[in-house]
Chain A
Amino acid sequence: MVTVGYSKKVMEHFMNPRNVGVIENPDGYGKVGNPVCGDVMEIFIKVKDDIITDIKFRTFGCGSAIATSSMVTELAKGKHVDEAVKITRGDVANELEGLPPQKMHCSNLAADALHEAIKDYKSKKQTK
């Protein structure tokens, strides 16, 4: 069957996104996308003993951009950074009960933002 519009879960996360906001002095920060393309996502993480204890996001973009951001924060929260870095775009889409095909790439950058934030955390840790 052809998927029409967004899944209920996407709409639910779009309307009630989890973990919205900013963390002051984060342990890791990742930003991906470009306003020209219509999607910008940023993720802030707080990490203790390599466990993501807090995570926040802000997103400029369409419904799926907001829903995938919300979902990825939910998936990553409480996870070891080495586990969280394995979360893929596909995992995010699956957890949201699928995304329309044209949204799989451009609006599914949330996992990338998370990976950037973890990378940032690890590089900061090394320099400490």
Chain B
Amino acid sequence: MPRIYLDHASSMPIDTRVFEFAKPFLSSAHGNPSSLHSVGLEAKRAVEESRKKIAEFIHAENESTIIFTGSATEANNLAVKGTSLRNITQGKAVVASAIEHMSVLNPMKDLQKNGFTFTAIPVDSTGVLDLAKLEATLTKQTVLTSVMYANNEIGTIEPIKEISKIVHEKGLYLHVDAVAAGGRIPIDVQKDGIDLLSLSSNDLYGPQGAGALYVKPGVKLQSVMLGGGQERGLRSGTENVFAIVGMGEAARIAQQEMQQESRRLLPIRDGLIKEILTIDQSYLTGHPTQRLPHHASFRFSYIEGESILLNMDMYDIQVSTGSACSSKTLEPSHVLLAIGLKHEEAHGSMVLTLGRSTTMNDIQPVRKATKETVERLRKLSPMSQEWRS
């Protein structure tokens, strides 16, 4: 049976067109964009062209709003720490949804060392932010509020426009982590009212090793990485030209093809959800409709996610899980706990993220493998007997 890769949220293959486009910057076009000679300028021009493509991709005001980083984690750190510390005289409060990525939550928690208060806003059982709670929490002292465009583990899309309105009535800046949403659904930072937005290259079928932070004109932030002053002094360090050039091209292609691709994936995703939910005691996690078009996430009672992942891999089907046992910290997914799952329920999760290689023909083999996996692990589980009796 051919491989069925359904873990695109973890890593995507680089688009061959992107690779061909950016390849010279791994070899012949090896210039440092900071060098003033012709070899350096060639690299500089390519980086600037990429910046323009990213700006167009998210409908930014102009290309100088884009700061390249080494990853989306770095973009999130720069957004959180860079704005909070720069605007410390305005207030010392930061706010985030309870389901943010760790690269937002951990820098926010770290800001507590600088005297900031950090508040996590709860979400409902489908993962949608509690807007009333957000409104009640924000004060004039809230320098930064961070809410993701869509969640990577449960696929839920957040009402960013409404959130933006609430944030700007009281607080200062809204940061949006768009790593999961980028390339899946259209993003317009101006219409959405976003001050800062993080993107990842690899999540657009670009090379690993590049991320970007959009910074709206007028937003004040400081660097977290000090050095030679690249990227307007906001992100020092020699640019990863290959990855940056690839990211721009990947964004350009995504902008052209995203709508058609999402339309192609939607019925496949719905087919997977329908088939997998025929398994006894299986549940969809996240929002049933307000969710990313390539995202299907589940939980199964009485079994554990790492076992699910390993067992599915035996069918050459690659999936992801929010199980504690699969994480480096051995903590269960904070996202699954935030939507109200008990610990033992959060352990049994499986996340499928579809991509360009996914076809309708994948539905039946995935259904069969999932069903057999769940049945086998339940036979091994002492908890399923309690359920039967």
A61 and B304 contact, Cβ closer than 8 Å, known pairs A14-B310, A38-B325, A107-B325: yes
The residue of chain A having its C-beta at the shortest distance from the C-beta of B302 within the complex is A60
A-B contact number at CB 8 A: 74
Bound Cα distance A40, B383 (Å): 8
A112 to chain B, nearest CB (A): 15
Given contacts A59-B380, A61-B325, A107-B325, contact A35 B344 (CB under 8 A): yes
Which B residues are in CB contact (< 8 Å) with A39? 304, 325
In the complex the two chains form, is B310's CB within 8 Å of A60's CB? no
Instruction: Kindly identify which residue among B302, B314, B324 contacts A38, using a CB–CB cutoff of 8 Å.
Output: B324
8 Å CB contacts to A: which residues of B311-349? Answer: 311, 314, 323-326, 328, 330, 332, 342-344, 347
**Cβ–Cβ contact B310 & A31, under 8 A:** no
Verify if B35 is at the interface (C-beta below 8 Å from A): no
In Å, the complex CA distance between A39 and B347 comes to 10
Instruction: Contact check, A17 vs B326: say whether CB atoms are below 8 A apart.
Output: no
Report the minimum CB–CB distance from B22 to chain A (whole Å): 29
Contact of B343 among A17, A38, A102 (CB under 8 A): A38
Task: Say if the beta carbon of B43 comes within 8 Å of chain A.
Answer: no
Which size bracket describes the interface of B in this complex?
A: 20 to 34
Task: Say yes or no: A31 contacts B382, CB within 8 Å.
Answer: yes
Given known pairs A14-B307, A60-B302, the reply for A38 and B379 (CB within 8 Å) is: no
- Per-position 1/0 for A56-80, Cβ under 8 A of B: 0011111101100000000000000
Interface check B10, CB cutoff 8 A = no
Among residues of A, the one whose C-beta sits closest to the C-beta of B305 is A62
Question: B379 contacts which chain A residues (CB < 8 A)?
Answer: 20
A106 touching B383 by the CB < 8 A rule?
no
A64 and B380 CA atoms in complex are apart in Å by: 13
Least distance between B380 CB and chain A CB atoms (Å): 6
Contact partner of A60 among B303, B311, B326, CB < 8 A? B303
Instruction: Using A15-B314, A102-B328, A102-B330 as known contacts, say yes or no to A59 and B343 having CB atoms under 8 A apart.
Output: no
Cα separation A39 to B381 with both chains bound (whole Å): 10
Cα of A107 to Cα of B324 in the assembled complex, Å: 11
Chain A positions within 8 Å of B383 at CB level? 35, 40, 60
- What is the bound-complex CA distance between A31 and B379, given in angstroms? 17
In the complex with contacts A36-B343, A38-B347, A62-B323 CB distance below 8 A: yes
Q: Is the CB of B385 within 8 A of A58?
A: yes
Q: Is the CB of B380 within 8 A of A17?
A: yes
Contacts of A11 in B (CB 8 A): 310
* B251, chain A: closest CB distance, angstroms: 33
Instruction: List residues 246-283 of chain B with CB under 8 A from any CB of chain A.
Output: none
Pair B307/A62 contact, Cβ less than 8 Å: yes
Contacts of B195 in A (CB 8 A): none
Taking the complex as formed, is B306 at the interface, i.e. its CB lies under 8 A from any CB of chain A?
A: yes
Q: 11 A-B pairs, CB-CB below 8 angstroms? A: A14-B310, A15-B314, A17-B380, A35-B344, A36-B342, A36-B343, A37-B324, A38-B324, A39-B325, A58-B380, A65-B307
Interface residues of B (CB under 8 A from A): 302-307, 310-311, 314, 323-326, 328, 330, 332, 342-344, 347, 379-383, 385
Known contacts A6-B310, A65-B325, A66-B307; 17 additional CB pairs below 8 A are A20-B380, A31-B382, A35-B343, A35-B347, A36-B344, A37-B324, A38-B323, A38-B325, A38-B332, A39-B304, A39-B325, A40-B382, A60-B380, A60-B381, A62-B305, A106-B330, A107-B325
